[in-house]
Structure 1
Amino acid sequence: MTIHSMTGFANAAGECGSKRINLDIRAVNHRYLDVQFKMPDDLRHLEGSLREKIAAAAARGKIECRIQVQTAAAGAAALSVNHALAAELAALNDKWRGEFGGLGKLTVADILHFPGVLAAQSEDEETFVLAVQSLLDDALAEFSAARAREGEKLKAHILERLSAMDGIVDALSGQFPSLVQVHLDKARARLAEAVANIDEDRLKQEFALFMQKADVDEEFSRLKTHIGEVRRIVTEAKGSIGKRLDFLMQELNREANTIGSKAIAAECTQASVELKVLIEQMREQVQNIE
């Protein structure tokens, strides 16, 4: 499956008779799907069907669809000649010149200027509608491909930071027993300076109470679980995943903060800071995911 970014742009253009149609689709981040159209008023009746096409291709994002229609300059390809009327005018001119000697001969320009002889080709409404819908299909195909390419970059970004987080958690987990022992030794030394005799049992009891407050095994476990879940979501990428990832970023940040607040050594504090930096980097990118 593929991750899709919410940002993207695509363009499609084509001609239908004497009309040139230009269609743009651009999208930015948005909490929900918000589709807006900018197009001529005489195309407003198509908005419903066009909106359905866009909604089928995107689940989230603020999407603007701009349609511009231009009429080609009048020319041979854009004009039609009423040959029957032109022939009738020429025949009448010949007949009347024979009956009325003072009449002049009609020129080609005279005939073409006669109302109804020369007219712009009328567009077939159904053909024009199909042309607009076809251009939207083309634009949406490119739009989805562009968002998928950007999504792959976001996926790589997130997976890279998840691996870094795994490394930090594993390293700190491995160091933690020795950090605890160092902390115990320091506490024993400080107490030795304050009292002549140390009650070893009392010291262990106090230290056990402290460790209950400073124990981060649960935070390590939840961090690993959340990291695994984020990795699973971005790898499988089923449907719209941005909101789920955003929630998990909050959970990851909460555990990293707790590790920092329970720090018994500089290594814990440093690990908490590094984790939060990585989480923030991911969170910024998650905001772009559909």
Structure 2
Amino acid sequence: MTGYGRGEVTSQGIRFVVEIKTVNHRFQELVLRLPQGWMSVEEAVKKVVQPVVRRGRADVFVHVEGVGKPPCSLSVDWGLVDLIVQSATEMAPRYGIKTPPTAAELLQLPGVLKIEETRFDPQALEEPLLEAVGLACKALATMRKREGEALYRDLVDRSENLKRYGNEIRERAPQVIQAFRERLERRMEEWLEREAGWMDRITGEAALFADKADIEEELTRLGSHIDQLGVVLLHSNEPIGRQLDFLLQEMNREVNTIGSKANDAKIGAFVVECKSELEKMREQVQNIE
């Protein structure tokens, strides 16, 4: 499920900013982007995020910066400067150089000025960092909950559509059998002489067609799967994405069987509508843990 959460904590003059972005993915995948030198706290951060993002890809961005402190420190290699100045002093009379090197010129020489980034101790600062991670997870969960409520309403609405199409198909099915019987009677009347037993033949053919075209069992299973989906959506407190995906696969199988057995244009139209709803539901389920 897509989402975003941000957490910020300031402690000991250091600001921790954690951002978590999640996108749809069939499995759990955590990608941490920590500052250089902070790999020692990677597992601790994962332990906080993993229970919140059980399915999908989560990108975790951790920023650490000093508050009121320079981002780096500068130092001069005085030993090197002494050597340079000494060499310059010796060179002056030999080459007739009257002006000694200035401080600005010395600072431009390689190695004279050392720049070091401000470093922090990750182990000593793990607690406030994890606090920021927890805040980001909480914000992420709040956003994902809102999205989940919208997904729930959408899946319930589409489930109701499937029930309605199923009822339409169940109502239409006997009419298909009767229509086949009537067509068979007309053909028999046109091409066969009336003789003893012709009605029995019609009855037998109609019964055979009815048996092949019987979709009551598939409709019953489809209805059962729809009811199960509703129960899972309403009552489960565990990750349900894979369970919903399985139920939708089973529904799709029943709908395909109904379409192949019914041999009727109107039922075929309802089957197309069912498959369209199922496809949209499967797309939505990919967003659910």
- TM (normalized to structure 1)? 0.78
C-alpha distance in 2, partners of 1:179/1:122? 79
Distance 1:262 1:162 in 2: 23
Mapped to 1, the partners of 2:33 and 2:119 lie a distance apart of 24
Q: Which amino acid aligns with 2:39?
A: R
**C-alpha distance 10-224 of structure 1, shift in aligned 2 (>3 A):** same
* Residue of structure 2 equivalent to 1:61: 56
Question: What residue identity is the alignment partner of 1:149?
Answer: R
Please list every run of at least 4 consecutive aligned residues from structure 1 whose deviation after the TM superposition is greater than 4 angstroms: 121-127
Partner in structure 1 of residue 149 of structure 2: 152
Any stretches of 5+ residues in structure 2 without a counterpart? 71-117
Structure 2: distance between partners of 1:53 and 1:213: 56
Q: Which amino acid aligns with 1:155?
A: Y
1:48 Cα deviation (Å)? 1.1
Task: Structure 1: state its 5+ residue gaps.
Answer: 1-5, 76-120
Per-residue CA deviation, residues 172-200 of structure 1 (Å, 9 max, x unaligned), is: 21232233212211121122212122601
Percent identity (aligned):
31
Task: Summarize the Cα distance change of 1:256–1:125 in structure 2 as closer, same or farther, 3 Å threshold.
Answer: closer
1:280 corresponds to which residue? Answer: 279
Corresponding residue SS for 1:57: coil
Q: For 2:281 and 2:205, locate their aligned partners in 1 and report how far apart those are by CA, in whole Å.
A: 40
Rounded to whole Å, the distance in 1 between the matches of 2:286 and 2:69 is 49
Give yes or no for contact 2:3–2:21 (8 Å, CA) kept in 1. Answer: yes
Per the alignment, residue 197 of structure 1 pairs with 194
C-alpha distance after superposition, 1:61-120 (max 9, x if no partner): 111111011234548xxxxxxxxxxxxxxxxxxxxxxxxxxxxxxxxxxxxxxxxxxxxx
Which residue in the other structure is 1:12 paired with? 7
Q: Secondary structure at the match of 2:58?
A: strand
**Corresponding residue number in structure 2 for 1:184:** 181
2:47 to 46, 52, 65: 52
1:122/1:166 Cα in 2 relative to 1: closer, same or farther (>3 Å)?
A: closer
Q: Retained in 1: the 8 A contact 2:40–2:122?
A: no
Q: How many residues align?
A: 243
Match of 1:240 in 2: 239
**Match of 2:58, as an amino acid?**
I
CA distance in 2, matches of 1:154, 1:74: 46
Equivalent residue of 2:177, what SS?
helix
Rate the CA distance shift 1:125–1:254 in 2: closer, same or farther, 3 A: closer
CA deviations over 1:231-287 (Å, ceiling 9, x no partner): 111111331111111111111111111111112322111111111111111011011
> How far is 1:122 from its partner?
9.2
Residue number in structure 2 paired with 1:175: 172
Does the CA contact (< 8 Å) of 1:39 and 1:68 recur in 2? yes
Match of 2:212 in 1: 213
Shift of 1:142: 1.0
* Equivalent residues of 1:27, 1:61 under 8 A apart: yes
> Secondary structure of the residue that 2:238 maps to in structure 1?
coil
- For 2:127, the equivalent position in structure 1 comes to 130
Superposed, 1:6-155 pairs within 5 Å as 6-74=1-69, 128-155=125-152
Question: Is the partner of 1:235 in helix, strand or coil?
Answer: helix
Note if contact 2:33-2:62 (Cα within 8 Å) is conserved in structure 1. Answer: yes
Contact 2:9–2:16 (8 Å) recurs in 1: yes
**Aligned-pair CA distance for 1:18:** 3.4
Q: Secondary structure of 2:125's match?
A: helix
Contact conserved, 1:17 with 1:123, CA < 8 A, in 2?
Answer: no
* One-letter amino acid of the counterpart of residue 215, structure 1: D
* One-letter amino acid of the counterpart of residue 239, structure 2: S
Amino acid at match of 2:200: D
| Conservation of the 8 A alpha-carbon contact between 2:181 and 2:202 | no
Q: What's the counterpart of residue 262 of structure 1?
A: 261
- Conservation of the 8 A alpha-carbon contact between 1:8 and 1:146: yes
Give the structure 2 partner of residue 88 of structure 1. Answer: none
| Bigger mean CA offset, 8-17 vs 154-163 | 8-17
Contact 1:230 1:248 in 2 (8 A): yes
Matched residue type, 2:166: V
Asked if structure 2 preserves the Cα contact closer than 8 Å seen for 1:183 and 1:264, the reply is no
Letter in 1 for 2:161: A
